[in-house]
Structure 1
Amino acid sequence: MDQPPRPALTWRGTAVSRRSLLLGLGAVTAFLAIDLGAVAYANNVIGDRFTRQAIIDRFQRIFGLHPGFRRNHAKGVAVSGRFDSTGAGRELSSAKVFAAGTSPVIGRFSLGGGNPTAPDNPATVRGLGLAIGFPGGQQWRTAMVNLPVFPVNSPEAFYDQLLASAPDPATGKPDPDAMAAFLAKYPATAAATKILKEHPPTSGFTDSTFSSLNTFLFVTDSGTTPVRWVFVPRQQALPAGKGDNALFDALVRQLKSGPVSWDLHLVVGTAEDPIDSTLPWPADRRVVTAGTLTLTTIETEAQGNARDVNFDPLVLPDGIEPSDDPLLAARSAVYAASYRLRAGEPKSPSAITVDEVAP
């Protein structure tokens, strides 16, 4: 169905475009300021049959209501560091983040699900959200996961997957009949599930590869190129110990001992490559190494750090455009709804207290 045009965003009464949001270099307050306007946009209707609130309600039905936390990827820690660009990405995009130089970064590691105190499970989807600011007054946000493909390719499939994958209280596992019916209804997810089983997760956060999965369009004066990006780790992860926060505790210990890094690979697509995010691109696609992400600090989530950042995948700088992947608009809308709710709710302490983790 036709969607209304995006309204102009405002910050303290000043009109700004969604793709040209002012940023004070290196200031966390500038990262956070964007969100106060960003929630003004997000279409209420998602897909063909429900609203963004319907997805929020389904998360809350499955995971319970946890005021002040994200409705998905509720458990997490805040990080910060820098992105050092090689300059090679300017071949594909005019975005200033790809000019040779250094940009500040704030980010968040997380585990999928809406329970902020759930015990760490190595099989749970791991997330990395980044907000990258740079000279020129624009910002790039990305919300990535450690999967090779998305398990669904439409908002409707995601909505139905939430219920089909909900644990049965009697067994602690999804109802196999419900899951079988879901996979029969969505053959693209059935195919993606086979791919996911062929790529088991690594041992921790710092040796995980984090991918955009969605296709974006990189733009220069010469034309437009479909791109997917991947952050490839430069280190092994410290072994996880025991306890409810085993994965996060290992991450905290590793970052306390020194920086951790990932190389940004821009995978160059062709007109024949699918936008469908359940489908991988051919392995022989050209890769441009655009720079290195280095994370240097880790903090318990609190006011003023990445706890309060909405890692909206449609906050993009000039030179990067969204593709027609329907998941992008849906993700943006649900993220905005989640942000708006938690911003007005009382806050509870994070399950991960960084200062209590011994180096």
Structure 2
Amino acid sequence: MSTPPPSNKAILARYGLIAVPVVLLAASMAYVHGWLDPHRVTPARIVDNLQANGGLHAGYRRNHAKGICVSGWFESNGELAQDSKAAVFAPGRTPVVGRFALPGGNPYAPDNSVPIRSLALRFTQADGQQWRTGMNSMPVFPVGTPEAFFESLQAGRPDPATGKPNPAAQQAFFASHPETGAFLAWVKTAKPSASYASERYDSLNAFYLVAADGRRQAVRWAVIPESAAVSANGAEGADYLAQDLQQRLTAGPLRWALRMTFANPDDPVDDASKPWPQDRRTVEAGTLVLDRAVAQIDGQCRDVNYDPTILPSGIEISADPLLPARSAAYADSYLRRTGEVDALHTAQEHRP
């Protein structure tokens, strides 16, 4: 017999943690752009909320707290050199420091607690310019306006009796926001992998490639795995994703193709909740190669703020309001966690 599809309540409960990044972006956007009362909604207060929900874990990110550092390089094939003057797209190799992670503020959460995986990358060009990007293993974001983000914050508020979001409140939120339809359609068929290595990661936000002659083209990007998907069914242990990654790397480097998708003139470039049609022009720009993984406490990624607005000449942000919001929220979290590490070191130095 075939397995019946999950109910809407089951889906919403399972994906409740997806509200975490939505909450973070929502309030920071509202504050930075003045759409809501800054005395009610600020990035600092939202980070406070994430900290309260996930617990205070000094020195860790307030979202995507559980992760592992990776490093390697990007081997460009030169196919995008005519579309962007960024040196990262010229033929050759660019070093990369990255981080695989899970949504949520608890660095000790079991890997099966949330189905979304993320990949953040920092490309460092020979001229010192950097391209930083944070991607997720879903093709579209739930909503695209600060007002909707704020409402999702209310819907995702933990119930004091259970410590979890109220499924009825979340269901009401999705019912009142038809723009979430594309996301919910994906949720119903999503099958998270038991391996970071076999996931596809999407930028979700749109950016512009800028050519040497000044020509600008809107794009979204994704990295497509060379490794075959592995079902999460039967995966054992709280940390199976990191264990699987380390085991795979003992057999050799892992690879993803960097695929750039170009928008048509009428495609939305300022709303991450709206997917683009499948027939848009795509270019395979080269290969992401990761050959080393290190626990984040010891790895290079630990002290990197993967702010997606840090871009080299040749890539520019779009008018998507989530981008400046992410930048502001990441900065708040970064200052907190690095300050906590400094305070810990100072305390240790002054011990008798």
Is the TM-score greater than 0.5?
yes
Greater alpha carbon shift after TM alignment, 314-323 vs 268-277: 268-277
Check if 1:54 corresponds to 2:45. Answer: yes
Deviation of residue 65 (structure 1)?
1.6
Deviation of residue 134 (structure 1)?
1.4
Counterpart position of 1:287: 282
TM-score, normalised by the number of residues in structure 1: 0.79
Counterpart position of 2:215: 223
Greater alpha carbon shift after TM alignment, 285-294 vs 121-130: 121-130
How do 1:111-130 and structure 2 match up within 5 A? 111-121=102-112, 123-130=114-121
Counterpart position of 1:134: 125
C-alpha deviations, 1:60-87, integer Å up to 9, x for none? Answer: 2321221111010000000000000000
What code does the residue aligned with 2:173 have?
A: F
C-alpha contact (below 8 Å) 1:111/1:127 kept by paired residues: yes
Deviation of residue 154 (structure 1)?
2.9
C-alpha contact (below 8 Å) 1:88/1:288 kept by paired residues: yes
Percent identity over paired residues: 47
Check if 1:144 corresponds to 2:135. Answer: yes
C-alpha contact (below 8 Å) 1:46/1:52 kept by paired residues: no
C-alpha contact (below 8 Å) 2:64/2:103 kept by paired residues: yes
Deviation of residue 198 (structure 1)?
3.4
Cα pair distance change 1:72/1:246, threshold 3 Å: same
1:91 partner SS:
coil
Counterpart position of 1:10: none
Check if 1:74 corresponds to 2:65. Answer: yes
Cα pair distance change 1:239/1:257, threshold 3 Å: farther
C-alpha contact (below 8 Å) 2:192/2:231 kept by paired residues: no
Check if 1:186 corresponds to 2:177. Answer: yes
What is the rounded CA distance, in whole Å, between the counterparts of 2:230 and 2:246 in structure 1?
10
C-alpha contact (below 8 Å) 1:122/1:204 kept by paired residues: no
What is the rounded CA distance, in whole Å, between the counterparts of 1:44 and 1:165 in structure 2?
19
Deviation of residue 303 (structure 1)?
5.0
How do 1:254-269 and structure 2 match up within 5 A? 254-269=248-263
Which residue of the other structure, out of 264, 272, 277, is the alignment partner of 2:266?
272
What is the rounded CA distance, in whole Å, between the counterparts of 1:177 and 1:58 in structure 2?
21
What is the rounded CA distance, in whole Å, between the counterparts of 1:238 and 1:249 in structure 2?
14
What is the rounded CA distance, in whole Å, between the counterparts of 2:134 and 2:194 in structure 1?
21
Check if 1:306 corresponds to 2:298. Answer: no
Counterpart position of 2:196: 205
Cα pair distance change 1:248/1:166, threshold 3 Å: farther
Check if 1:96 corresponds to 2:90. Answer: no
What code does the residue aligned with 1:270 have?
A: N
Check if 1:248 corresponds to 2:235. Answer: no
Counterpart position of 1:45: 32
What is the rounded CA distance, in whole Å, between the counterparts of 1:91 and 1:322 in structure 2?
19
Greater alpha carbon shift after TM alignment, 82-91 vs 235-244: 235-244
Which residue of the other structure, out of 147, 168, 177, is the alignment partner of 2:168?
177
Deviation of residue 247 (structure 1)?
2.0
Q: Which has the higher strand share?
A: 1
C-alpha contact (below 8 Å) 1:165/1:174 kept by paired residues: yes
Q: Which has the higher helix share?
A: 2
What is the rounded CA distance, in whole Å, between the counterparts of 1:216 and 1:101 in structure 2?
23
Cα pair distance change 1:342/1:48, threshold 3 Å: same
Cα pair distance change 1:161/1:344, threshold 3 Å: same
Deviation of residue 217 (structure 1)?
0.8
Q: C-alpha root-mean-square deviation of aligned residues, in Å?
A: 2.5
What is the rounded CA distance, in whole Å, between the counterparts of 1:123 and 1:201 in structure 2?
9
2:237 partner SS:
coil
C-alpha contact (below 8 Å) 1:109/1:128 kept by paired residues: yes
Aligned residues: 308
Question: Which structure 2 segments of 5+ residues have no match?
Answer: 1-28, 343-352
C-alpha contact (below 8 Å) 1:141/1:311 kept by paired residues: yes
